[in-house]
Chains A and B, each alone.
Chain A
C-alpha cells in the first residue's frame, strides 16, 4: 500500500466510526431524554399521558398518604397548581412535606402522575436547582432559600 492509500484507509475508518457515533447520539437524543416540568407546565402544555417526564416542585403539606404495600400518594405543587403523584417503594431519607422534590415517570389517563423514581435532596438546606427555578418563575420563591447554600443534589453521587 502506498502512503496515500494507508492514509485514506485510516481516514475512511475514522469517518465510519464517527458517523456511527453521530447516528447513535442523534437517535438516543430523540428517544431517551426527559423534559423537566412544573405542575403548571404539566397543565398548560397538556403533557400527554404516557410521555416520560420529570415533575418537580414542593410536596404539599398534609398531602402525603401512605397505605399498605408501600403505596404512597402526595401532591407536588408550585404554588399555582398541584399534581397528584403515586409511587410505590421507599421514599428517600430527606423526603419531607413542604420541601422540594423531583419525580420521574408519566401521567396516567386519569391525570395522576405515576412516578417510578423520587429524588429528594442530599441536604436540608438545599433546593433542587430545577425546582428553585420553577418556583421563581411562578413567583413563589422565598428569599431565605437563596441564602442557605449547602451540599446538594439528587440521590446520585
Chain B
C-alpha cells in the first residue's frame, strides 16, 4: 500500500507542476493577479506531495519491503537503520527522487520568502522552476519509478553496494544536491527576467542570496564527497579529476563567478547581460552534471545500472532546457539596457578579471571532461584524460586568480589604484616571503615550486586579514573605535573576507598534501614494526569480527611516536556475503590537522599482511578550508542588506497538511 501511495503522490506532484508551469506565466502575461497568485500555493503543495512520496520511499526501505524492486536491489534486512534510510537514495531511482524533492523545496522556499518580489517576477520564476520540475517528474515516472513492484517478493534484499554503506551517504548526496539544484533558482530568475525583458540592480539583490545558498551547499557537498572518497577508497587520494567530480566542480566554478558578477550588478548596475548568462550557465552545468552522472555514459561509483532510455531522456531534457535558455538569451538579451561604466583598474575590473579566470578554468575542465566522450562518439578511439591534463591546464589559470584575489576587495569601486593597494598588502607580501624562506629552509627535496606555492597560500590568507584590518582600521585607530567599526562592518564584508580566507586554507592544505605526503607499502608479520615519518607501527595481528551484514578481518596496529604510545589503528577488510564483494576500511589517526592513514591489503603467508601506509601532512586543512568558506557564505547570507525592504516573513503554515 505504501509504495502505491508514494507513487500516487508523485503523480499528483507532477499534475501540480503542470498547473504551476502554465497558469502563473499566463497570468503574468495577461496581468491577471488571481492567476499569478496560483503559483505560491501550488509550489507549496507540490513540495508537500514530493515530500510524502519521499517519506513513502523511506518507509519501504525502513520496513525492508522487498516487494519493491529498488528496495530488493539495494537494501538488506540486517543493515543498521541509518543505512536502511540512506540506501533509499543510494541508487538511481531514489537519488532522482531526492533531486526533485530538493527542486520542489527550493520552489517552496521562493513561494514562502519571496513576498517582496514583484508579483509578475514571482509568478514567472515559480513558473519556470516548475518547467524543470515537470520534466524531471516525467523522467522519474516514465523511466525510473522507485516504487515499481516485483511480481514475486523475495525474502531478502541484495544489499547496498558496500562502498556506500557509510555515513558519507547520509551527508554527501543531500548537501551536493542542495547546491546543484539550488542553482535552478538563479536559472529561473534569469529566464523570468528574459521573459519580462527587464533586469535591474534589484533583480541582482534578489538572486544573490539564492545563489549564495546554493554555492554554500555545493562547496560543502563537494568537500564532503572528497573526504568520503579519501577515507573510503583506501587510496589516500582526495581528488582524482574524475569526470564525476568535474561534473560537480564546473557548476561550482560558474556559480562562484556568478556570485561575484551579481555583486557588480547589485552595486554598480553593470555586467547585467553577463550575470544573466552566468546564471543560465551555472544551472546548465548542473544539468550536464546530472546527465554525465546519471545517464551511464561514464563509469564510476555514481553510475548505477544503466538503461539507455534514461540517458536519452536526460539528454532530451538537457537539450530542451539549455538550448531553450540560450536561444531565449540570444533573442532577448540585446533588448536589455547596458549598465554603468568603470575603469579597467577598479573593483569592478577586478571582479571582471575574477570572472574571466573562473570561466576559463571552467572551460578547461569542460574540455577535459567531455573530450574523451566526444572523441569516442566520433572516432571510436578510447582515451582517458586524467590528472596530468588538468594539472597542466587548470592550475596555470587558477594561480593568477589566487594572486589577484587579495587585491580585489581592497580596490575602490569605479577607479582603483594598484600601487596603493600593493602598499597596503605589504604585510601579506612580507608574511608570504617569510613563509617561502621558512619552507625552503625546513624542507629538503620536494619540487622547487613548492615553497612558492606555500607563499601563495599565505598571501591569500594574509590578504583576507589585510582586508579586515583595513576596513576596521586596526592598529591605526584606537582600539575602541576599531571594535566599533568591526561591529558596524556589514556581515557580507566579513563573509567575503572569511570565504577568501577559506580558499587560502584549502590551498595551503592542497600544497602540503601534494608535496610532502609520504607513502609506504609493506608486508608485515605479527609483532613486526614499520616506520614512517617518525611514527612506529607495531602489527599486533589479525582478528575476525562479525558485523550486522558482513564479516571483517581486523588488523590491529599500535602507533608509537618517540617510544610513547599514541593510539591504535584498526584497518579492516570487510566481505559482504549477500553481494559476494569486499571493501577495505582504512583507519586514520589525526594528529593536529595531519593524518596517519593505513589500509589493509591481502594476507600473505605466515600471518603476514600487506599494508598501505600514508602520512598526510596538514591534509585536514583542505576540507576545513571548505568549511570556512561555507561559514563565510552563511555570514554573508545573514546580512541585513540582502533583505532590505523584505517584510518579516510571517509564520505561514503550509496551506496543505500531509494527508495520512
- Contact (A123, B384) CB under 8 Å given A157-B228, A157-B244: no
For chain B, what secondary structure do more than half of its interface residues adopt (helix, strand, loop), or is it mixed? Answer: mixed
Q: Which of B300, B382, B392, B612 contacts A157 (CB 8 A)?
A: B300
- Contact (A130, B382) CB under 8 Å given A24-B396, A157-B242, A157-B302: yes
Q: Are B306 and A33 in contact (CB under 8 A)?
A: no
CA distance A104 to B240 in the complex (A): 15
- Contact (A29, B389) CB under 8 Å given A94-B582, A124-B580: yes
Q: Please give, as numbers and ranges, the residues of chain B lying within 8 Å of A1 by CB-CB distance.
A: 343-344
Q: Does any Cβ of A come within 8 Å of B233's Cβ? A: yes
Q: Does any Cβ of A come within 8 Å of B305's Cβ? A: yes
Q: Which of A9, A18, A33, A66 contacts B344 (CB 8 A)?
A: A9
Q: Which residue of B lies closest to A102 (CB)?
A: B384
Q: Are A157 and B225 in contact (CB under 8 A)?
A: yes
Q: Are B392 and A28 in contact (CB under 8 A)?
A: yes
Q: Are A157 and B301 in contact (CB under 8 A)?
A: yes
Q: Which residue of B lies closest to A130 (CB)?
A: B382
Q: Does any Cβ of B come within 8 Å of A14's Cβ? A: yes
Shortest CB distance A130–B (Å): 5
Q: Are B389 and A20 in contact (CB under 8 A)?
A: no
Q: Does any Cβ of A come within 8 Å of B521's Cβ? A: yes
Within 8 A of B (CB), among A23-43: 24-25, 27-29, 31-36
Q: Please give, as numbers and ranges, the residues of chain B lying within 8 Å of A54 by CB-CB distance.
A: 382, 384
- Contact (A3, B382) CB under 8 Å given A24-B396, A70-B610, A155-B235: no
Shortest CB distance B307–A (Å): 8
CA distance A151 to B164 in the complex (A): 10
Q: Which of A36, A93, A156 contacts B582 (CB 8 A)?
A: A93
- Contact (A17, B305) CB under 8 Å given A90-B601, A93-B582, A93-B583: no
CA distance A3 to B343 in the complex (A): 9
CA distance A149 to B164 in the complex (A): 16
Between A33, A69, A151, A154, the greatest number of chain B beta carbons within 10 A of the residue's beta carbon is seen for A151
Q: Does any Cβ of A come within 8 Å of B161's Cβ? A: yes
Q: Which of A3, A69, A128, A153 contacts B341 (CB 8 A)?
A: A3
Q: Are A151 and B242 in contact (CB under 8 A)?
A: no
Q: Please give, as numbers and ranges, the residues of chain A lying within 8 Å of B381 by CB-CB distance.
A: 35
Q: Please give, as numbers and ranges, the residues of chain A lying within 8 Å of B384 by CB-CB distance.
A: 33-34, 36, 54, 104
Shortest CB distance A125–B (Å): 8
Q: Which of B240, B385, B388, B521 contacts A156 (CB 8 A)?
A: B240
CA distance A112 to B476 in the complex (A): 69
Q: Does any Cβ of B come within 8 Å of A81's Cβ? A: no
Q: Are B161 and A151 in contact (CB under 8 A)?
A: yes
Q: Are B521 and A90 in contact (CB under 8 A)?
A: yes
Q: Which of B226, B233, B299, B364 contacts A128 (CB 8 A)?
A: B299
CA distance A149 to B92 in the complex (A): 12
Q: Which of A21, A36, A66, A156 contacts B364 (CB 8 A)?
A: A21
CA distance A142 to B373 in the complex (A): 25
Shortest CB distance B568–A (Å): 22
Q: Are B389 and A28 in contact (CB under 8 A)?
A: yes
Q: Which of A3, A14, A35, A91 contacts B601 (CB 8 A)?
A: A91
- Contact (A31, B392) CB under 8 Å given A128-B299, A157-B245, A157-B300: yes
Q: Which of A21, A88, A91 contacts B360 (CB 8 A)?
A: A21
Shortest CB distance B334–A (Å): 16
Q: Are A123 and B581 in contact (CB under 8 A)?
A: yes
Shortest CB distance B550–A (Å): 13
Q: Please give, as numbers and ranges, the residues of chain B lying within 8 Å of A48 by CB-CB distance.
A: none
Q: Are A14 and B356 in contact (CB under 8 A)?
A: yes
Q: Please give, as numbers and ranges, the residues of chain A lying within 8 Å of B396 by CB-CB distance.
A: 20, 24
CA distance A24 to B299 in the complex (A): 27
CA distance A150 to B164 in the complex (A): 13
Interface string of A124-157 (1 = CB under 8 A from B): 1010111001000000000000000111111111
Q: Are A24 and B242 in contact (CB under 8 A)?
A: no
- Contact (A33, B385) CB under 8 Å given A91-B601, A156-B300, A157-B233: yes
Q: Which residue of B lies closest to A52 (CB)?
A: B388
Q: Please give, as numbers and ranges, the residues of chain B lying within 8 Å of A90 by CB-CB distance.
A: 521, 599, 601-602, 610, 612
Q: Can you give 12 contacting A-B residue pairs, CB < 8 Å?
A: A6-B343, A24-B393, A27-B392, A29-B371, A31-B392, A33-B371, A36-B384, A124-B580, A149-B304, A150-B161, A151-B304, A153-B300
Identify the 10 closest CB pairs spanning chains A and B, nearest first: A149-B305, A32-B388, A36-B382, A90-B601, A157-B229, A28-B392, A153-B300, A156-B242, A151-B161, A24-B393
Q: A93-B582, A153-B301 known; 17 other A-B pairs, CB under 8 Å?
A: A6-B341, A6-B342, A25-B367, A28-B392, A34-B385, A35-B381, A36-B384, A89-B612, A90-B521, A90-B601, A91-B601, A93-B583, A122-B300, A133-B382, A150-B305, A152-B304, A154-B300
Residue positions of A touching B, CB distance < 8 A: 1, 3, 6, 9-10, 13-14, 17-18, 20-21, 24-25, 27-29, 31-36, 54, 66, 68-70, 88-91, 93-94, 104, 122-124, 126, 128-130, 133, 149-157
Residue positions of B touching A, CB distance < 8 A: 161, 163-164, 225-226, 228-229, 233-235, 240, 242, 244-245, 299-307, 341-344, 352-353, 356-357, 360, 363-364, 367-368, 371-372, 381-386, 388-389, 392-393, 396-397, 521, 523, 573, 579-584, 599, 601-602, 604, 610, 612
